[in-house]
Structure 1
Amino acid sequence: MDPVIIVGAGLGGLLLALLLETTPPSSTSTPTPVIPYIILERSTERTWPLEGGGVIFLTSQIHPLLARLGILDALRKISRPVAALTVYERHQYAKASSRASADFAGGVGVAGSASQQRERSASSSGSGPAGSGSKPKKSGFDGDGDDDGDDDGASFLKTRYEYDTLAISRPELYNFLVDRIPEEKLVLGKQVHGLVFQDIAHGGTRSAAPAPVPVPDTGSSSRSSGSTDGSTEAVGAGRGEAIMTTMPLMENHSGSATHTSDIANTAAVVCTDGSRYEGIVVGADGAYSTVRLSLYRHLRERGLLTADPADKEGNEGDHHGPMRAQFRVLVGQTRELDPDRFEFLKNEYSDVRVLVSQEGVHPFAFWCVPMTENRICWMLEDKLAEEQICPETEDFTQDQQAISQLCEFVRSIPSACGKGVTVGEIILDSTPEETAVLLLREEGYFSTWTYGNVALMGDGAPLYRSADTSSWPGCSEAGQCPVRPQPRCISIPRLFSALFP
C-alpha cells in the first residue's frame, strides 16, 4: 500500500499518526494491513515549551476515540474537567451564565456565539469585580469575586454524555501526543515547498509548487532517518529513486464524477531541501496550509476550482479565496498563581469566565480558563478598525511593545477572576514575558478539502471558519463533529484500504 505522507506535526497530524499506529482488531481471518506513514515537520524541536500556548477543550465526542487509543486515563491526569462557562458584561456585572452541558457539548468556542446563546440572568442588586448590575443565575461566582464550589454543571454533563469536558494546555497535549510517535516516523526540519502530480492523460509530471515561503510552525516532532542535507529521498524507495504508481481515481468532496484526464493520479510532496515524498498526501499544516495553497493552484490552472453554486439568498462567490480577519487575539498562559487571590482556582472543576465589553472605541472580550497547577490560560480579543485580508503565510508577533500597547486600554478593568483582580494583573504581571502571542482571527470558507490522492484536515481544511462559530486560536475544541458518536469506532487502516486498495 502507498504510504501516507502527513504534512505538519500539529495536533491533528499527530492524532492521525496515532490512529495509523494502532492495530485494529480484525473481524475476519485476514489481518488488517499496516499502513506505512511518515510525518514531515518544519520545526527542528521535538517538544514545545510549556510556557505560553492556549487551551484545548476535549469534549465528549472525542473521548471514545481517546479511550480506544488507550490514552484517555493518562490525559485526565494532566487536564482539568470543566463545570461552567460564565459570560460577564462590563458595567452590568453578569450578562449570563450557562452550564457546561450547553456550552461545551454543543461546541461554543467564542464570545460572540456564547453571548447569543446565554439566557439572561434575573435582575438583582449587587456588585462585583466586573462592575455592577445583575448576578448570574447559575454561577459559582458570588458578589465578592469568590466561588462557592458548585459543580452541578459538571456532574450533569458527565451523567448525560458519560464524559467530562477536559481543559488541557495546548503545549502539554502536544508533548503528550508526540512522545507516543516513533522517532523514525517523524522527520524534523522539513519545510514543504509544494506538490507535484503525475497525470495519466499527460504522461508527465506537473508541478503545483508555490514560490518558497516560510511555512507556519505547526509544532515539533521527533527525529527520524529523513535527510535535511539537500539529498533526494522518497518513502518506499531507495535514495534518488522516483516512485510513480497509478493510484485509483477518487471522487472529489462533492461526489461529482471526475474524468481520469482531469485528475492527478500520483501526488508527491517536494521540500525546500530537494527531498521528495510520494503517496497519499494529508495536509495537516494549519490554517495557512502550504498543501492547500499548492493544491488550489494546481486545480485552478486545470480549471477545476470553481465557485460553489449560489446559496439560498442568491449569494455567489469563490469559496477558495484568501481568508479575512475582523478580529485580532492575544493569547497567553500565566505562571503558577496564588489560589487565595484567585479563588476560582481552588475548585476541582474549571469555571471558564468571559468578560465582554461592547462600549467605547475598543470593544473586547477577555477569556480566562483555570488550568492545572493553578495556572490560567487567557485570551484578549478586540475588533479591528476594518476587515483585513490575511496573508498566505501565518502572521503573528511576540513584540512586547505591540502587546503592551494593545493591553494598555484594559489594564485597570476588573477581570471577573477574583476580588480586585484586573485584566492587567493577569496578562501583564502574571504572564512570563515573551510568551504571549498576538495574531489575527481568520475567517473563510473552503469547500474543496480533497482531490485525487491529496486530502486536507484540521485547520488546513476549514469548511467554515467564522468569528462567530469557529474556535479561537488559544481556546479550541477537539471532538466537535456533526456526527453523533457511535458504539463502534471506525478502523482507520480499513478506511484507507477501502479508499486506496
Structure 2
Amino acid sequence: MASKVPKMHVLIVGGGIGGLMLGLMLERAGIDYQILERSPELRPLGSAISLNGTVLRLFEQLGLLEDLLKISKAAGRLHLVKEDLETQGHIDLEHFRERYGYHSIVFGRPDFFQMLISHIPAKKILMGKRILSSSQTELGVIVRCSDGSAYHGDILVGADGAHSSIRQCMHKTLKEQGLLPKSDSEKLKFDQNCVVGITNELDPEKFPILKEELCELYGVIGKKNPYTVSLRTSLHYRILFASLHSWTRYLLDCFG
C-alpha cells in the first residue's frame, strides 16, 4: 500500500529556474506550495544551459523530456580555440548517449523558463512579492512582504538568486546568535563578471554552422587578456554566448 504524502505547505521565494523547478517537482508529488516572486512580471533572461544524461533522467521521470527535447539541440563537438582563433583541439560529445543513454543537450535559458512556466498553475505564482523578513515559529515559518501581506508555511525555500533576501535574513539571525562560520566574514578570493545573451535569428547562408543538426560548442580562451568567450549554436539559427572576465585570469595565474 502506497504511503500517504504528509500534508504540508512549502513557500518558495523566487520565481527563477530553481524556484520553478522545485515547484514543478512538488506539483508532481502532490505537495502544496506557493511561489513568491519579487518582480511584477516574470522575465526569462540568460543564455545557454547544457544538461547531460545524469540529469535528463529526472526530466524523463517528471514527464518533461519530450518537451525539453523540442527546445534543444544534442551536443556534437566542443571546439577549443585560442584568442587568435587558432584551433587547439576538439572533444567529441556524441559518445555521451552510448555511455549515459542520452545525448548531452543545449538550449536557451528563456526557452527553458517558458517550458517550466507552462507546466505550473498560474495561481501558484504570486508576483510583486518583495520579502522584508522571515521568522520561525512553533507552527512553522512566516514571511512578510513589502505590500503588507504575510504567508505561512511549513517549509521555506530561498530560491531568490545572488542577492537573496532569505539568505540575508538567515545571515542576520545566525550573526546575532554567533553561529556564522569564519569564512562568511572573509573577502572573496576573486570575482567574475559575465556578459550573456542570445542573438536574433541569423542568416544560415552567412553562418553555415547553424545548419548543423547537432550543437557545436566553442570555447575561446584568452591568455594575453582576461576574457573567455563561450559560443553554442541553437535552434532557430541563433547563437548562445557568454563572455567571462577575471575568472579566466585567476585560473591562468594559478595553473599557467
- TM-score by length of structure 1 reads 0.46
Amino acid at match of 1:363: P
> Distance between the aligned counterparts of 1:321 and 1:268, measured in 2?
31
Give the % identical residues. 32
Quote the offset at 1:379 in angstroms.
1.4
Match of 1:5 among 5, 11, 26: 11
Where does the alignment leave 5 or more consecutive residues of structure 1 unmatched? 24-33, 101-153, 199-243, 246-265, 308-317, 384-440, 442-466, 469-501
> Distance between the aligned counterparts of 1:46 and 1:329, measured in 2?
21
Tell me the residue number matched to 2:235: 372
Matched, 1:66 2:59: yes
Contact 1:47–1:178 (Cα < 8 Å) also in 2: no
Tell me the residue number matched to 1:194: 133
Tell me the residue number matched to 1:274: 148
Quote the offset at 1:55 in angstroms.
0.8
Quote the offset at 1:381 in angstroms.
2.2
Contact 1:366–1:381 (Cα < 8 Å) also in 2: yes
CA RMSD of aligned residues (A): 2.0
Summarize deviations over 1:251-278 as a string: whole Å, max 9, x none.
xxxxxxxxxxxxxxx3221111121112
Where does the alignment leave 5 or more consecutive residues of structure 2 unmatched? 1-6, 252-256
Tell me the residue number matched to 1:305: 180
> Distance between the aligned counterparts of 2:185 and 2:135, measured in 1?
20
Quote the offset at 1:334 in angstroms.
0.8
Summarize deviations over 1:332-389 as a string: whole Å, max 9, x none.
1111112222122111111100112211xx3321111101001001112233xxxxxx
> Distance between the aligned counterparts of 1:160 and 1:348, measured in 2?
21
Amino acid at match of 2:110: P
Contact 1:329–1:381 (Cα < 8 Å) also in 2: yes
Count of aligned residue pairs for this structure pair: 242
Q: Residues 161-200 of structure 1: matches in 2 within 5 Å?
A: 161-198=100-137
Tell me the residue number matched to 1:252: none
- TM-score by length of structure 2 reads 0.87
Quote the offset at 1:288 in angstroms.
1.9
Alpha carbons of 1:92 and 1:41: their partners in 2 closer, same or farther (altered >3 Å)?
Answer: closer
Contact 1:355–1:366 (Cα < 8 Å) also in 2: yes
Q: Residues 82-481 of structure 1: matches in 2 within 5 Å?
A: 82-91=75-84, 93-100=86-93, 154=94, 156-198=95-137, 245=139, 266-279=140-153, 280-307=155-182, 318-319=183-184, 325-359=190-224, 362-383=225-246
Structure with higher Rg: it is 1
Where is the strand percentage greater, Structure 1 or Structure 2?
A: 2
> Distance between the aligned counterparts of 2:122 and 2:188, measured in 1?
35
SS of 1:81's equivalent in the other structure is strand
Summarize deviations over 1:142-198 as a string: whole Å, max 9, x none.
xxxxxxxxxxxx1x1111110111111111110110111111111011011121233
Alpha carbons of 1:306 and 1:272: their partners in 2 closer, same or farther (altered >3 Å)?
Answer: same
Amino acid at match of 1:381: L
